[in-house]
Structure 1
Amino acid sequence: MNFVAGSTLLLAAWLVKLIAVGPPEPLPGDWWYYLGGPMGCVFIGIGALLVRSLGVLLTGLGMIAGQLLGSLALDLVLPTPGTVVVFATVAGPVLALGAIILTTLPWSRGLLKRS
């Protein structure tokens, strides 16, 4: 239902723009511009499967840690002009990985109870 409502709203907005501004420019011909949609579908599917086995907290932490590690790798391997890797840039992924480790530790229920 979410996709139906979203698609309907986008179609209505596109029709209003079409009437107000006219037809759009032709779409770009570079094939790799169009990989975002399929990659997003795969991302959502894998996330749904991981939540089922790992739980929401660990899956969310893993996704965040992966994004932070990926952005750090891009900053180190393919930096854009003006990119500066500072302590906070490295501390973010390290803290996310630490949160994953903390989440996966075998906690005893007896340690969490208060006397």
Structure 2
Amino acid sequence: MNIIDNTDEELLAIGIPWWEDLIKYSNKGQYGKFIRNFSYDLLLGLNEVEVGKQFAKSELTRSLDTKYDFLGFIRRGEHVTFLFRVRSTKREGEWLGRMVVGYERGEPKIFAASIF
């Protein structure tokens, strides 16, 4: 099973609720809920101390606007990258949000997520 074979509609049904959860739990600083759809490999690679600092100290990750623009997909290999235009409720400007989704043991999971 390869995620890139899913239709745009199927991908959006998976990814949009996850992206909205990432924004919600980032804003609330709820790390446990933020990572709940992450792949096992991603969880192994996370430095929980650094992620904890990000949640505690980053104004941007705690002030993401819940309104965003979905920009599109990039399908490559066994993963689909979702791209979003993201804004902050406290900082001027726009950021690029990225979420990489694929299958792990037959289940869709998040393999990467970032805002830059």
TM-score (norm 1): 0.24
Q: Which structure has more strand as a fraction of its residues? A: 2
Larger radius of gyration: 1
Q: Which structure has more helix as a fraction of its residues? A: 1
Larger relative contact order, structure 1 or 2 (CA cutoff 8 Å, min sep 6): 2
TM-score (norm 2): 0.24
